[in-house]
A and B are shown apart, each in its own frame.
Chain A
């Protein structure tokens, strides 16, 4: 949190992945707990496969809506290379929750640019922590790719300055209003994301120990 007790969460990915919806739900959870909230994104042409970065700031009073480089408390990356692109926004040593999916744009396909060989390794080399998991696979396992969004929210649950239940409530409320038949599946997706993040976190803390 910054000096004014404001929490900065940056959620990044690609148009169509549900980045903005995820941040919106997170914002609703913060509002329900009485926080002031501002949310902004640069998503000029998100519809057409562009980069989306959604800034969420909440606390007693939020002034500027933008998170400045080096000040994000948490980075949530819906795609691996996007995690690398935005990691400089984190506080030194900060944490990236990362979906391991690689989404390759046409400029890479036609050979103009290269997709990084090891985005996670590069993020770590810059001194940040990474908890990585395959959110798409978890969502497919539950039967619907669109649950990826909720899986990512579940992954954030234990890294927020408020109880995980507040976030779950915000998700379920949204679905209860729009698609009641999806409530249970989303609860499962949330828990699956939360569990995947936990085991990724455990794997990371175990990492320095040489293999036995």
Chain B
């Protein structure tokens, strides 16, 4: 994105948590910011890239993004890195040793937990990393706090030479609130990198000497936490229940129990145990309200502080007022508020692929081929598991399509003797973590056909560029990886590599059919862009000639959301079999003329739409 004039200091802006963090990162004089996209964290880097005087990049995966940030922090610059919760699983190898070296320039790692599972493959609690890696965790509870804590986190990181985790959740990242912004303080890096192998080269001997220093730091962090103004008691006149809480749950507690005493944890790891102990003495019952796992609760109990927590509250999802109020009423033996009106049963609207998505033809084709087990991966193409294709059988984690396919091959049971194993993976996912898996398939002579869906973008998270796009985060030209050469270099035979246009259904069908028969690894690369990006060019739209449509429903199987069934009829085939006919129309206003649905239409009922003047629906 191009840089824009940042709003002046003292402006009061309506910002999402992500935008607030981005502003703070810029104000803090941070030099390097790196991330791999992932909902709900993506906008942090997108917005940072619009600020001047800071280097921003999309990295190929979260581990690399953290390593870039680490290098910058070693060099003495302030550095920032953002990822979704599962990203830290990938980056953690670096984190677990980074905690031994520590940093010179402040390093803040924002982790976005998708509490409530709006768009993730799991729900996990990133506060664990604070305990596991012995690093402090800050937890903002709205945009203003996200902004302030990010700035504080940089100072804190430098003071203790430790990376700081900023734990956010979807309800912070994507909620907009008012933020009063400040001035940027430039921090020219005059010192530079200081050679110090005992600190920066983590050999067993070196690490052995750093571990006691980490424990020493634990003590200092604990003392900070006990005194920190981020951990604050807010008194209340109804002391029947006192709450210990953090993050968005704090707002829900205040909303639900305005008169209750609250100990708000802003610096929530390490837990200020003595502060909590003193607070507990002032209330009848202590309840810990934390999203997701009972971390603080367990630590308080271990310290001998009696409290409630996950015995009365769920371990999954958000702790909103409609969850908190009945749980506390029950605890107090009060009548539980009556069940409110129930939602009306309405059909679901599961996400669909976009109109004309280049993946449509792939899944249409796969749905026509029998005897396949399809190992899938994470991206828009995961939707291939749904209707109408039902053509994806597994999804675990990014890049896993490769290894799982090999495992399905090597571990095949008697019943699967003749099954063909196919793996489907997107370009960004392949570059993130799939390459190594493909190398493993080649090296160990797996019998897998890989479909590499190169749409030149990270479609799922909104069409961000990746090394397959030819553009960087600023939209500037960047070197573009050549997937055919890359997989050849990994050892796939040249004659087993095919680049095909996913809108050419017969070619796609023939190529897949041939390659699955060959008992070695093949890679079929599709090469048309995601419709979200500029490379995609619309063509002349289509419409259905009503009189010609025979109701065969073939085009419906393509799964394009621009095709709608207008009526259904039962008919008896000459064979005596009853079939359901589906007559269709195309929503011409949104059709981009990709031509996919035209191909399986035998009666040629789908034709280019003639331009019309806009309809006048209302008459005067």
Q: Identify which of A113-121, A155-163, A176-184, A199-207 touches chain B.
A: A113-121
Query: Shortest distance in angstroms between A211's beta carbon and chain B's nearest beta carbon?
Result: 23
> Are B340 and A70 closer than 8 Å at their CB atoms?
yes
Cβ < 8 Å to A, chain B residues 335-361: 340-344, 346-354
Cβ < 8 Å to A, chain B residues 424-464: 462
The listed residue (A14, A39, A123) touching B176 by CB distance below 8 A is: A39
The listed residue (A44, A136, A141) touching B118 by CB distance below 8 A is: A44
Interface residue? B552 (CB, 8 A)? no
Interface residue? A17 (CB, 8 A)? no
Query: Shortest distance in angstroms between B91's beta carbon and chain A's nearest beta carbon?
Result: 23
Per the bound structure, the CA–CA distance linking A43 and B229 in Å amounts to: 35
Tell whether A31 pairs with B252 under 8 Å between CB atoms, given A38-B175, A44-B119, A115-B347. Answer: no
Interface residue? A174 (CB, 8 A)? no
Which residues from chain B contact A69 at a C-beta distance below 8 Å?
A: 322, 340-341, 343
Query: Shortest distance in angstroms between A88's beta carbon and chain B's nearest beta carbon?
Result: 4
- In the complex, what residue of chain A is closest to B120 when comparing beta carbons? A44
Which residues from chain A contact B183 at a C-beta distance below 8 Å?
A: none
Q: Identify which of B393-401, B492-500, B510-518, B612-620 touches chain A.
A: B612-620
Interface residue? B270 (CB, 8 A)? no
Which residues from chain A contact B350 at a C-beta distance below 8 Å?
A: 50, 105, 107
Tell whether A68 pairs with B171 under 8 Å between CB atoms, given A36-B178, A48-B354, A137-B617. Answer: no
Summarize A's interface: helix, strand, loop or mixed.
Answer: mixed
Which residues from chain B contact A49 at a C-beta distance below 8 Å?
A: 349, 351-352, 561
> Are B344 and A107 closer than 8 Å at their CB atoms?
no
Per the bound structure, the CA–CA distance linking A80 and B351 in Å amounts to: 19
> Are A105 and B14 closer than 8 Å at their CB atoms?
no
Per the bound structure, the CA–CA distance linking A111 and B553 in Å amounts to: 12
Query: Shortest distance in angstroms between B267's beta carbon and chain A's nearest beta carbon?
Result: 21
| B235-273 vs A, Cβ < 8 Å mask (1 yes, 0 no) | 000000000000010011011101000000000000000
Per the bound structure, the CA–CA distance linking A192 and B559 in Å amounts to: 37
The listed residue (B142, B348, B354) touching A113 by CB distance below 8 A is: B348
> Are A68 and B14 closer than 8 Å at their CB atoms?
no
The listed residue (B256, B341, B564, B618) touching A138 by CB distance below 8 A is: B618
Tell whether A140 pairs with B615 under 8 Å between CB atoms, given A51-B349, A68-B321, A87-B344. Answer: yes
> Are A126 and B351 closer than 8 Å at their CB atoms?
no
Which residues from chain B contact A145 at a C-beta distance below 8 Å?
A: 589
> Are A65 and B341 closer than 8 Å at their CB atoms?
no
Interface residue? B174 (CB, 8 A)? yes
> Are A137 and B351 closer than 8 Å at their CB atoms?
no
**Interface residue count for A (Cβ, 8 Å)?**
61
- In the complex, what residue of chain B is closest to A85 when comparing beta carbons? B346
Interface residue? B568 (CB, 8 A)? yes
> Are B178 and A37 closer than 8 Å at their CB atoms?
yes
Tell whether A88 pairs with B39 under 8 Å between CB atoms, given A38-B176, A109-B564. Answer: no
Which residues from chain B contact A209 at a C-beta distance below 8 Å?
A: none
The listed residue (B177, B255, B344, B349) touching A105 by CB distance below 8 A is: B349
Query: Shortest distance in angstroms between B554's beta carbon and chain A's nearest beta carbon?
Result: 13
- In the complex, what residue of chain A is closest to B16 when comparing beta carbons? A39
| B126-169 vs A, Cβ < 8 Å mask (1 yes, 0 no) | 00000000000000001000000000000000000000000000
Which residues from chain A contact B68 at a C-beta distance below 8 Å?
A: none
Tell whether A44 pairs with B344 under 8 Å between CB atoms, given A38-B177, A63-B251, A109-B563. Answer: no
- In the complex, what residue of chain B is closest to A16 when comparing beta carbons? B590
Summarize B's interface: helix, strand, loop or mixed.
Answer: loop
- In the complex, what residue of chain A is closest to B619 when comparing beta carbons? A141
Which residues from chain B contact A81 at a C-beta distance below 8 Å?
A: 346-347
Query: Shortest distance in angstroms between B422's beta carbon and chain A's nearest beta carbon?
Result: 24
Which residues from chain B contact A64 at a C-beta distance below 8 Å?
A: 248, 251-252, 254-256, 320-321
The listed residue (A44, A63, A92, A109) touching B341 by CB distance below 8 A is: A92
The listed residue (A31, A84, A88) touching B14 by CB distance below 8 A is: A31
Cβ < 8 Å to A, chain B residues 344-390: 344, 346-354, 380, 383, 387-388
Per the bound structure, the CA–CA distance linking A8 and B541 in Å amounts to: 42
Interface residue? A33 (CB, 8 A)? no
Query: Shortest distance in angstroms between A196's beta carbon and chain B's nearest beta carbon?
Result: 10
Query: Shortest distance in angstroms between A26's beta carbon and chain B's nearest beta carbon?
Result: 11
Interface residue? B565 (CB, 8 A)? yes
> Are A114 and B118 closer than 8 Å at their CB atoms?
no
> Are A48 and B14 closer than 8 Å at their CB atoms?
no
Query: Shortest distance in angstroms between B57's beta carbon and chain A's nearest beta carbon?
Result: 24
- In the complex, what residue of chain B is closest to A119 when comparing beta carbons? B346
Per the bound structure, the CA–CA distance linking A174 and B318 in Å amounts to: 34
> Are B14 and A39 closer than 8 Å at their CB atoms?
yes
Which residues from chain A contact B33 at a C-beta distance below 8 Å?
A: none
Per the bound structure, the CA–CA distance linking A108 and B564 in Å amounts to: 9
Interface residue? A47 (CB, 8 A)? yes
Cβ < 8 Å to B, chain A residues 77-105: 81-82, 84-88, 92, 104-105
Which residues from chain A contact B618 at a C-beta distance below 8 Å?
A: 134, 137-138, 140-141
Interface residue? B556 (CB, 8 A)? yes
Per the bound structure, the CA–CA distance linking A15 and B105 in Å amounts to: 41
- In the complex, what residue of chain B is closest to A6 when comparing beta carbons? B255
Per the bound structure, the CA–CA distance linking A84 and B341 in Å amounts to: 12
- In the complex, what residue of chain B is closest to A82 when comparing beta carbons? B346
Tell whether A40 pairs with B564 under 8 Å between CB atoms, given A109-B556, A140-B614. Answer: no
Query: Shortest distance in angstroms between A46's beta carbon and chain B's nearest beta carbon?
Result: 8
Query: Shortest distance in angstroms between A20's beta carbon and chain B's nearest beta carbon?
Result: 10
> Are A143 and B349 closer than 8 Å at their CB atoms?
no
The listed residue (A27, A41, A84, A114) touching B344 by CB distance below 8 A is: A84
Interface residue? A122 (CB, 8 A)? yes
Per the bound structure, the CA–CA distance linking A63 and B352 in Å amounts to: 34
Query: Shortest distance in angstroms between A103's beta carbon and chain B's nearest beta carbon?
Result: 9
| A116-153 vs B, Cβ < 8 Å mask (1 yes, 0 no) | 10000011001000000010111011010100000000
Tell whether A111 pairs with B347 under 8 Å between CB atoms, given A39-B176, A40-B171. Answer: no
> Are B387 and A107 closer than 8 Å at their CB atoms?
yes
> Are B343 and A85 closer than 8 Å at their CB atoms?
yes
> Are A106 and B387 closer than 8 Å at their CB atoms?
yes
Per the bound structure, the CA–CA distance linking A137 and B618 in Å amounts to: 6
Interface centre among A62, A110, A136 (most CB of B within 10 A): A110
Which residues from chain B contact A115 at a C-beta distance below 8 Å?
A: 347
Query: Shortest distance in angstroms between B144's beta carbon and chain A's nearest beta carbon?
Result: 10
Which residues from chain A contact B616 at a C-beta distance below 8 Å?
A: 140-141
Per the bound structure, the CA–CA distance linking A14 and B346 in Å amounts to: 14
The listed residue (A4, A24, A66, A136) touching B320 by CB distance below 8 A is: A66
Which residues from chain B contact A28 at a C-beta distance below 8 Å?
A: 14
Given A36-B178, A105-B352, 15 extra CB contacts under 8 A: A39-B177, A44-B39, A48-B351, A48-B380, A49-B352, A50-B350, A64-B255, A64-B256, A68-B321, A84-B344, A112-B387, A114-B347, A122-B344, A134-B617, A145-B589
CB pairs A–B below 8 angstroms (19 shown): A14-B349, A24-B176, A31-B14, A37-B14, A37-B177, A39-B14, A47-B351, A49-B352, A64-B248, A65-B142, A84-B346, A88-B343, A92-B341, A105-B561, A110-B387, A110-B582, A113-B348, A122-B344, A141-B618
Top-7 shortest CB links A-B: A45-B351, A113-B347, A44-B118, A48-B351, A64-B255, A70-B340, A44-B119
The chain A residues found within 8 Å of chain B, CB to CB, are 4, 14, 24, 27-28, 31, 36-45, 47-51, 62-66, 68-70, 81-82, 84-88, 92, 104-116, 122-123, 126, 134, 136-138, 140-141, 143, 145
